[in-house]
Amino acid sequence: MARRAAQLSLYDLKPEGLLVVPAERKAVPDELLRCDSARPEAGWFDIDDTVPPGRIAQVSAELGLSVSEVCSRFHDLGLAVDAAGLPDHPTPEIAEVLRDLCEESSWLYRDRPLSPLQILKAAAVLYRGPVEILQMYQRLEFHTPEVFPLDASVDDTDLFENKWADGSVDRCPPAPIPYMLILLAAAHRPLPEVISRLEDYGYHVPLRAPSDPSDLDELLLDPHGPCSWWEVGTDDEMPFAHLLVAAQRTFCAPYTLVERFDAYGVPVSCRDLPQGLSLTAAMRLLEPEHSSDEGHLSKESPVSLEVLIERARRMGVPIAQVVEWLTQLGIPVPDVGRVLHDALARVPRP
């Protein structure tokens, strides 16, 4: 309450932060402290926040004030502002283009370059060409992608976002791309074209699509096929565990799938079974604990201490051996020492 009172200029805070006394100032409308007047759920600015250019443009357009007048009002509230690149009287269109259309927050900030997805979405919202939107952001002094195709189209949005994929790619190269997103985009255009188009935007995609895909290729490159691509990005190795499950489902030897992935240009976490682990034992290690559980252990599986203990009991080996095997198979495993430390810290003490 004291912080809000200080923001409203209704009170002055003593250095101790405890005693408040009335200030001889006119109260400033509370609405100005909203992060976004069109979205009440966005909340309020904190005293340490910097007002982003989009909010400044929004207030300017709504109140008919110049940017300098709006900034002066925010300064009176003790808030820093970022008005770089804004014209003196921004249009509502400028406020709209400064929204974070990838929905991490209401407004764009300058802490990182704009992603191609943000530019394509802004082009769709404003019915403008993507290159025109790119130039608008440049005039507003935002960091834009170093590589951006002159023939960019809003139709390319599906390269970076898909409702069936886990999230979207709201980052510039050299950020990785989830392979699931790439393979899902291939439902609407050929896979080689998807890869080529992503490279037009500056992304590095190691995957090389087969020129004459076999039936096995079609299965392995199917985003809903026997080989899981979940949580595998263009900077990752394909977990050998995923290939073991795919080999069982396609009635192929694991080394056959390793050779296919060599041809795809996608590295695999290991090329053969870890020492001391047979194929039968590996599948037992990866199988779900209960028949009602979903699927085998994979890169997206949460591997808890409980899971490690159960697998160690199942395999008749120490937990350290289970950790070593899973790691070689490409399954992320937490630091067991840290997990034990955190668990013991939660145990009540007398």
Contact call for residues 117 and 168 (beta carbons, < 8 A):
yes
SS3 assignment, position 11? strand
For residue range 272-314, what is the model confidence (pLDDT) as tens digits? 999 999 999 999 999 988 765 678 999 999 999 999 999 999 9
pLDDT of residue 15: 45
Average pLDDT estimate for 96-121: 93
End-to-end CA distance of the chain: 38
Buried b (16+ CB within 10 A) or exposed e, 225-255: ebbbbbbbebebebbbbbbbbbbeebebebe
Is 100 exposed, middle or buried, given 0-12, 13-18 or 19+ CB atoms closer than 10 A? middle
Give the Cα separation of 116 and 161 in Å (integer): 11
Is 14 exposed, middle or buried, given 0-12, 13-18 or 19+ CB atoms closer than 10 A? exposed
SS3 assignment, position 280? helix
Long-range contacts, stretch 19-28, CB < 8 angstroms, 24+ apart: 28/73, 28/76, 28/77
Indicate the pLDDT class of residue 68, thresholds 50, 70 and 90.
Answer: very high
Average pLDDT estimate for 195-222: 97
Residue 20: pLDDT above 70? no
For residue range 73-91, what is the model confidence (pLDDT) as tens digits? 999 999 999 999 999 999 9
pLDDT of residue 292: 54
SS3 assignment, position 318? coil
pLDDT of residue 209: 96
Give Cβ neighbours of residue 343 (< 8 Å, ≥ 6 apart).
305
Average pLDDT estimate for 226-236: 96
Closest by CA to 245, choosing from 286, 305, 204, is: 286
Contact call for residues 185 and 205 (beta carbons, < 8 A):
no
Buried b (16+ CB within 10 A) or exposed e, 133-157: bbebbeebebebbeebbeebebebb
Higher pLDDT, 204 or 165: 204
pLDDT of residue 30: 66
Among residues of the chain, what percentage have pLDDT more than 90?
77
Phi, psi (rounded to 5 degrees) for 277: -125, 115
Contact call for residues 219 and 250 (beta carbons, < 8 A):
yes
Residue 21: pLDDT above 50? no
What interhelical angle do 67-76 and 53-63 show, nearest 10? 110
Contact call for residues 97 and 137 (beta carbons, < 8 A):
yes
Contact call for residues 245 and 215 (beta carbons, < 8 A):
no
Structure tokens at 85: 């690149």
On average, the pLDDT of the chain sits at 89
Higher pLDDT, 18 or 46: 46
Average pLDDT estimate for 240-263: 98
Alpha carbon of residue 266 to chain centroid:
22
pLDDT of residue 166: 63
